[in-house]
Amino acid sequence: MVEGAEAVPAFPSAFRGGIILGSERLARFGRDESGEVGVPAAAARPSDTEDLAILIRWAREHRVPLVARGAGTSLDGESVPVRGGVVVDLSGWEKVGEVDPVERTVRVGAGVVNRDLYERLRPHGLFFPPNPGSWTSCTIGGNVATNASGPRSLRYGATRRWVRRIEGVLGNGQPAAFGASVSKRSMGPDLLGLMVGSEGTLGIFTEITLALAAAPGRRSGLVIPLPATPSVGTITQAFVHRPTLGLSALEYLDRRSATALSHEEGSRLPSGTALLLAEIESLDEAEETRHLEAWTEALRALGLHDAPIVYPDADRLWTLRGSSGTVLNRTLGLRVREDVAVPLGRLDELFEGIDRLAERFSVEVYVYGHLGDGNLHPNFVLDPTTERSRELRSALFELARRLAGTLSAEHGIGSVKREHVGLELGPAEIGLLRAVKSFCDPDGILNPGKLYPEGVGARARAP
């Protein structure tokens, strides 16, 4: 919902950063990849943490909503100013500090692009494991704010596992730092973990210290055609716990999604069949050969006799897989893009339930996702702004919950799923959210209309 935007009060004279005005220049700040739309009154680019604190204190005084933004790749409206106000553009915070090879850490600005950091770390033999589908453009600040993950989360987990320290400014105007420079610390409840996934509703992050992993000697991608009616859940369970396979990622493309991607330049993907996409990590060529032999045996045991297509550089495969949303945007246009996950033992039930929903609502569905995490992304070809789409979303979320799953595995809540939070969080949990929000952002100026159910953090007004 867009509540409009009026002229903002004069920015404080002490603010040294850039200010963007004018509807044409602001248009790109009013939307992200979710399809949600907002009308910002201005965008601000603070020059440093002190500048950000000045901006937040000004916003508190005038009750102006502030919405932090990196690259605008969020899929549930997290970076859209649905209640107007000022967008805080952090895309220029791109500094990458010195790599600590002993602690295996690096300190980065919130605007550093995920794939750019990956390339910067390559000469050090280290990498930051989370690789969302949008890794060629999404920022580390956005990854932390939504607890993003990606294909490698099967082996390495989501972003939360790799955040050592967060610096920024809370919604009350106070600069704050969470976490430590050491790998373990016992100082009461995990305040750092509380910040990860908070979607810019508690504070705005400026710099983040990340833990890093040692890069494997070799990293290859496999593309495996699936028969017409496989038990994908059975196949998944057969692979994920077999150490001899060297598995670090296991993905899925249904027939429609695979065919759409097969037409992309250099894809090498077969069309007309569903596909498994896997990544294997090896110390050297000899170990990679052993892993590939183990894969051949495992596939034959499941009745899958087609030889896998090997991508010697798995990064190329994940960049292609990450373009799924863009390709479907181009070929399908508006649709309901979702992100649910269930325990691995319920995967087949989730697939069946998604097919029943597509039939019930008389729409096509394209499904891809992270099989190793039980995380599917169904794309229903339906205008996401309609009442029918809201009914479909509700039915999908109820299906996921019936299967002991979650309504958001990695995309976050944003404005799209906020009304459904009560399906997963009870009164006690929501009450705790209210209390934390009240302390960190007493005037409700940070990203109002996101994450929290109605009535939480809704006190800010459009300027």
Non-local (6+) Cβ contacts of 143 within 8 A are 114, 130, 132, 159
Q: What is the mean pLDDT of residues 255-270?
A: 92
- Please determine, for residue 265, whether its predicted confidence score (pLDDT) is greater than 90: no
Q: Got the DSSP string for 228-252?
A: SS--HHHHHHHHHT-GGG-EEEEEE
% of the chain surpassing 90 pLDDT = 88
Which pLDDT band, with edges at 50, 70 and 90, does 132 fall under?
A: very high
394: left (phi over 0), alpha (psi -120 to 50) or beta: alpha
pLDDT for the residue numbered 334: 86
pLDDT for the residue numbered 314: 95
Q: Quick one: CATH architecture of 105-214?
A: 2-Layer Sandwich (3.30)
Q: What is the mean pLDDT of residues 127-148?
A: 97
Whole-angstrom CA distances from 116 to 10, 69, 113, 206, 324 are 36, 18, 5, 18, 20
Average pLDDT of every residue of the chain: 93
- Please determine, for residue 1, whether its predicted confidence score (pLDDT) is greater than 70: no
Non-local (6+) Cβ contacts of 217 within 8 A are 282, 283, 284, 287
Output phi, psi for 23, to 5 deg: -60, -40
pLDDT for the residue numbered 255: 95
pLDDT for the residue numbered 375: 97
The domain 334-411: what is its CATH number?
3.30.70.2740
Helix (H, G, I), strand (E, B) or coil at 377: strand
Are domains 218-323 and 334-411 of this chain identical in fold? yes
Q: What is the mean pLDDT of residues 285-291?
A: 96
Most confident listed range (207-211, 269-273, 423-427)? 207-211
Give the residue extent of every domain in the chain: 105-214, 218-323, 334-411
Whole-angstrom CA distances from 315 to 96, 108, 221, 286, 456 are 21, 22, 8, 21, 41
Assigned fold of 218-323: Alpha-Beta Plaits (3.30.70)
pLDDT for the residue numbered 6: 58
- Please determine, for residue 320, whether its predicted confidence score (pLDDT) is greater than 90: yes
Q: Are 252 and 367 in contact (CB under 8 A)?
A: yes
pLDDT for the residue numbered 183: 87
pLDDT tens-digit readout, 186-198: 999 999 999 999 9
pLDDT for the residue numbered 7: 74
Structure tokens at 131: 């690789």
Q: Of 276, 265, 373, 268, nearest to 312 (Cα)?
A: 268
pLDDT for the residue numbered 397: 98
pLDDT tens-digit readout, 409-460: 999 999 999 999 999 999 999 999 999 999 999 999 999 999 988 754 444 3
pLDDT for the residue numbered 287: 96
Q: What is the mean pLDDT of residues 403-414?
A: 97
Look up residue 388 and give its amino acid. Answer: R
pLDDT for the residue numbered 454: 73
Question: How many Cα atoms within 13 Å fall on the side-chain side of residue 376?
Answer: 30
% of the chain surpassing 70 pLDDT = 96
pLDDT tens-digit readout, 141-167: 999 999 999 999 999 999 999 999 999
Which pLDDT band, with edges at 50, 70 and 90, does 462 fall under?
A: very low
pLDDT tens-digit readout, 39-86: 999 999 999 999 999 999 999 999 999 999 999 999 999 999 999 999
Q: How far apart are CA 278 and CA 262, in angstroms?
A: 17
Which pLDDT band, with edges at 50, 70 and 90, does 288 fall under?
A: very high
Q: Are 73 and 136 in contact (CB under 8 A)?
A: no
pLDDT for the residue numbered 150: 95
The separation between the first and the last C-alpha atoms of the chain, rounded to the nearest angstrom, is: 16
| Sole residue written with tokens 């504070």 | 203
Q: What is the mean pLDDT of residues 98-116?
A: 97
Q: What is the mean pLDDT of residues 351-367?
A: 97
